[in-house]
Amino acid sequence: MATVSRPAETPLVLGEVTLADVTRSVAGIVEAKTPRAWWAAFAFTGTLTLVLIAMLTYLVTTGIGVWGNNSPVGWAFDITNFVFWIGIGHAGTLISAILYLFRQRWRTSINRFAEAMTIFAVTCAAMFPLFHVGRPWRAYWLFPVPNQWSGMWPNFRSPLIWDVFAVSTYFTVSLLFWYLGLLPDLATLRDRARSRIRQIVYGVLSLGWRGSARHWRHYEMAYLLLAGLSTPLVLSVHSIVSFDFAVSILPGWHTTIFPPYFVAGAIFSGFAMVVSLMVIARWFFGLEHLVTMKHLENMNKVMLATGLIVGYAYAVEFFIAWYSGNPYERFAFMNRALGPYAWAYWTMVACNVLVPQLFWFRKVRTSVPAMFVISLLVNVGMWFERFVIIVTSLHRDFLPAAWGMFRPTWVDLLTLAGSFGLFLTLFLLFVRFLPMISMSEVKAMMASEEAA
């Protein structure tokens, strides 16, 4: 009888690893003495966070004029940063929800990390529209709550209101999903805790989880439900963000390709951010046996695929601008590629379309320094994509008499840098105090691989 030989699957956990080894290597990070390098990194990102607070304080006490926004460029760094950060978050939900539904088991080592990234990125994102409104203390007017002119309600026909609902729902559901996944691991930390403070803090946070079979049954159902709910949610969020642009009549914004194009771009940039952070974390904390080259290579493949979708979208936009015969649309795109912001456009094309093509080569895909550099360049490119979409469309629209230019002020630049500080500070706190790999899920995967 002929036998069909199947290539052996690369294991997702390397070496002879027992269940207790998983607990030790993941929980051990949280329990060990704080490394000096962590303090150094924290001092740096903490300083950047203070810069952010200073910039926002200056903004609120002085006025929106400290930013470079003007007429006609009313949306600039603030909305660029908003779309950039919200896009970063999408990889986390993709990994935790969509890959879960598709039974992609390689997700288990990276989902906790990516979900944390989602929450911190959405936190950074939400800050920008809040301060963009100019009077953040009145931002609650966006919610359907009675305000001082009782009887006045938000205009639900506006995409900007849809955005408020989409982003706040996204943040809340991501937080719930993350916490749900953390419960069993918090119980592990509680049971291993030596000091009284740790026992109390992790004890309260784990809500008395004890891993009863009756509990796991409801828990797994809740997890499946949240994965099923988060999947359409994540697609809706960036679609709705793209409606902010697509529903307007501005050339360069008013296109039907925006929702899928934005979602693909979001996943692209999010995966790039996961890779950038993960290669540092796995090296620093010695997690190479749990986050293997296979995980990294799979993420690089996702980047290659979504990068191609993004490149395709850039091409189709140009084609439609020509094919539509609309002179304003044609101008908007010629102006993007050849106008005063051409440098930004070509930075975007180089970083998002050309550079990821290197991932066709296995050698590049499996080289840690190469993927680190490429993932950073992708993030630069994706930031410029939003900048190009927003600023080049706004600065020259229908009437040449109303054309203008946007130049960022030092406040704009420091606020952007500060948002990275906040993001990285939250991340450092996460890797210090919470298990960055889902221990219960890795153990379940190991048990099922053993049984298979």
Partner 1 sequence: MSVEQTATMAPRVYGVAAEFQSPAELLEAVRKLRQRGYQRLDALTPFPVHGLDEALGLRRSPLGWAALAAGLTGASGALLLQWWTGAVAYPLVVGGKPYFAWQPSVPVTFELAVLLASFAAVLGMLALNGLPRFYHPASNHKRYPRVSDDGFLLIVENDGPAFDAARAAEALRAVGGQHVEVLED
Closest CA to 418 of 78, 1, 36: 78
Closest CA to 378 of 303, 317, 311, 298: 303
* Token code pair at residue 112: 């906790």
Judged by CB under 8 A, does residue 207 bind partner 1?
yes
Long-range pairs, 204-210, Cβ under 8 A, ≥24 = 207/183, 209/183, 209/184
Binding mask 233-252 for partner 1 (x = CB under 8 A): x--x---x--x---------
Nearer to partner 1, 225 or 402 (CB): 225
Binding mask 9-48 for partner 1 (x = CB under 8 A): ---------xxx--x-------------------------
Secondary structure (DSSP) of 243-298: HHHHTS--TTT--TTHHHHHHHHHHHHHHHHHHHHHHHHHHHTT-TTTS-HHHHHH
Closest CA to 177 of 114, 143, 211, 227: 227
Judged by CB under 8 A, does residue 284 bind partner 1?
no
CA distance 108 to 101: 12
> Cα 51 from chain centroid?
22
Angle at which helices 410-433 and 19-31 cross, to 10°? 130
Nearer to partner 1, 232 or 340 (CB): 232
What would you measure as the largest C-alpha separation in the chain, in angstroms? 83
Judged by CB under 8 A, does residue 341 bind partner 1?
no
Shortest distance (Å) from residue 260 CB to partner 1: 16
Number of residues that bind partner 1 (CB under 8 A): 66
- The residues in 69-88 that bind partner 1, with binding defined as CB under 8 A, are none
Shortest distance (Å) from residue 75 CB to partner 1: 20
Shortest distance (Å) from residue 405 CB to partner 1: 29
Nearer to partner 1, 47 or 212 (CB): 212
CA distance 248 to 429: 40
Nearer to partner 1, 229 or 370 (CB): 229
Judged by CB under 8 A, does residue 101 bind partner 1?
no
Closest CA to 379 of 336, 342, 354, 348: 348
Region from 56-64, 144-152, 317-325, 413-421 binding partner 1, contact rule CB under 8 A: 144-152
Judged by CB under 8 A, does residue 140 bind partner 1?
no
Q: Which of 192, 289, 330, 432 binds partner 1 (CB under 8 A)?
A: 192
Judged by CB under 8 A, does residue 158 bind partner 1?
yes
Judged by CB under 8 A, does residue 143 bind partner 1?
no
Judged by CB under 8 A, does residue 151 bind partner 1?
yes
Region from 212-220, 269-277, 288-296, 350-358 binding partner 1, contact rule CB under 8 A: 212-220
Shortest distance (Å) from residue 199 CB to partner 1: 11
Judged by CB under 8 A, does residue 285 bind partner 1?
no
CA distance 278 to 296: 9
Shortest distance (Å) from residue 315 CB to partner 1: 28
Q: Is 9 left (phi over 0), alpha (psi -120 to 50) or beta?
A: beta
Shortest distance (Å) from residue 376 CB to partner 1: 33
Give me the torsion for CA of 344, 347, 353, 358, rounded to 10°.
-170
Residues in contact with partner 1 by CB under 8 A are 18-20, 23, 144, 151-159, 161-162, 165-166, 169, 172-173, 176-177, 179-180, 184, 187-188, 190-192, 203-204, 207-222, 225-226, 229-230, 232-233, 236, 240, 243, 439-441, 443-444, 447-448, 451
